[in-house]
Amino acid sequence: MTTVEVAIVGAGPVGLTTALGLARRGVSVVLLEKDEQLGRFWRASTFHPPSLDVAADLGIVDDMLEAGLVAPMYQLRDFRTGIVARFDLNAISDETAWPFRLQLEQYKYSNIVAAAVQTRPEAQIRFSSAVTGMRIHDDHVELEINGSETLTASWVVAGDGSSSIVRELAGIAFEGETYPSRRLLLSIEESLNELVPDLDLVNYVYAPVGAGMVLRIPDLWRVMFTIPSGIDDATARSVEYYGSRLSELLGVQPEVVSTQVYYIHQKVAASMRRGRVLLVGDAAHANSPTGGMGLNSGIHDAFDLITTLTSESADLDRALDAWADRRRRAAVEEVHRVSRRNTVDLGEPDDVARGRKQDDVRAIAQDSQQAKEWLMESSMIASVRRHPIGVGRVAPYTTGPRSFVAEVVR
């Protein structure tokens, strides 16, 4: 039997972030990953300013900036008429060192964090190590690995994603809903910004059949839209179908190199803690990706947990209960609220109601005070101010030649 201070289940981006933060603060951690290597998922692609504050604390922000694309502008557009409103994050440059979104593939973030974890003597990543059982005791937790080995840890952090086995073994319910509509995710290597010249790197699209997104990430463009209920997955993935939807949404039909269908969940764990078991990331909450908040909020869970566990609080039990409560409220009151609103508003089926919503957003974008409030919310800065995660304020980023303007894309 092996004994460690903290066992983290799942080497996804949130588990890795937790491991790096704890190891940098001298805590011995073992990260258990069921797969043979890190995942290469086409999922998160947007990092908001508070997550870059966390990355700065963890010593990885320069690598992220090097690998990603700086997106200071984003837009909301109508599927028929084009741009409705554009927001410039420079309007909040007095509030953050990073007045932009960083567009970076999730798997590249994971690789950057994993490389940093591997330099730490306090941390070990074990691949092909699936957690299959768990017993929670008052002063430790026993994990069963691959159905045979036992590992004992003072604390277990569940970063094993939305189907979390640790959450299930801890008897914690995952409450909420799965939206009936599915989304189609298309990857496009062609220069979409040359075909549709008024695109920004991040674009949200109003459409009567459901919200759409057009996002630039370093390697390619990604277009996501809602699949109506009468269309099955195979039809949705056919060139004929997605070609006509691309024409409708953007007026062009670029070549698509891969397709993926996914469901949207708005769920939250009944509690983020049971004794010595702590849930982070998608194991604790799942949400619509419109607005790019899922992974970001997982990174915030992780950082808040790192600072809480290492705070030397006289009453750690109480501090962890407060952490669990704070992060659950952030998931429901901030991430669920904003991502649901984004998804519903962009997908408003009624033309008149959709037009009214667009008028409201136009008015917000034209009023500097309201635009700033909108940006504080969509950048998640307001969220971490209402539910502080313990990250220090980072001085404006002035080193290096990078200017805060949209990168030239292919």
Binding site for ligand FAD (CB under 6 A): 9-15, 32-35, 39, 43-46, 106, 130-131, 159-161, 165, 185, 262, 281-283, 289, 292-296, 298
Nearest distance, CB of residue 230 and ligand FAD, angstroms: 22
Nearest distance, CB of residue 13 and ligand FAD, angstroms: 5
Nearest distance, CB of residue 406 and ligand FAD, angstroms: 17
Nearest distance, CB of residue 395 and ligand FAD, angstroms: 25
Comparing CB distances to ligand FAD, the nearer of 85 and 201 is 201
Which residues neighbour 214 within 8 Å (Cβ) at sequence distance 6 or greater? 192, 196, 199, 203, 205, 221, 222, 223, 224, 249, 250
Q: How far is CA 367 from CA 92, 305, 361, 376, in A?
A: 14, 37, 10, 14
Residue whose entry in the numeric block shows the structure tokens 């005070």? 369
Nearest distance, CB of residue 228 and ligand FAD, angstroms: 18
Comparing CB distances to ligand FAD, the nearer of 29 and 354 is 29
Comparing CB distances to ligand FAD, the nearer of 212 and 289 is 289
Which residues neighbour 72 within 8 Å (Cβ) at sequence distance 6 or greater? 88, 89, 90, 99, 100, 101, 404, 405, 406
Under 8 Å between Cβ of 100 and 89 = yes
Comparing CB distances to ligand FAD, the nearer of 109 and 374 is 109
Cα(304)–Cα(22) distance, integer angstroms: 11
Amino acid (one-letter) located at 40: R
Which residues neighbour 385 within 8 Å (Cβ) at sequence distance 6 or greater? none
Amino acid (one-letter) located at 248: E
| Residue of minimal Cβ distance to ligand FAD | 12
Comparing CB distances to ligand FAD, the nearer of 21 and 161 is 161
Comparing CB distances to ligand FAD, the nearer of 99 and 161 is 161
Nearest distance, CB of residue 60 and ligand FAD, angstroms: 16
Nearest distance, CB of residue 353 and ligand FAD, angstroms: 26
Comparing CB distances to ligand FAD, the nearer of 79 and 204 is 204
Cα(234)–Cα(375) distance, integer angstroms: 38
Comparing CB distances to ligand FAD, the nearer of 40 and 385 is 40
Under 8 Å between Cβ of 339 and 290 = yes
Alpha-carbon 250 to chain mean position: 25
Alpha-carbon 276 to chain mean position: 25
Residue whose entry in the numeric block shows the structure tokens 């690789």? 111
What DSSP designation does 130 have?
-
**Buried b or exposed e, range 205-219, using 16+ CB within 10 angstroms:** bbbebbbbbbbbbee
HEC profile of 163-179 = CCHHHHHCCCCEEEEEE
Nearest distance, CB of residue 369 and ligand FAD, angstroms: 27
Comparing CB distances to ligand FAD, the nearer of 225 and 354 is 225
Nearest distance, CB of residue 156 and ligand FAD, angstroms: 11
Comparing CB distances to ligand FAD, the nearer of 14 and 391 is 14
Q: Give SS3 for 263.
A: strand
Nearest distance, CB of residue 16 and ligand FAD, angstroms: 7
Helices (H), 237-278: 239-250
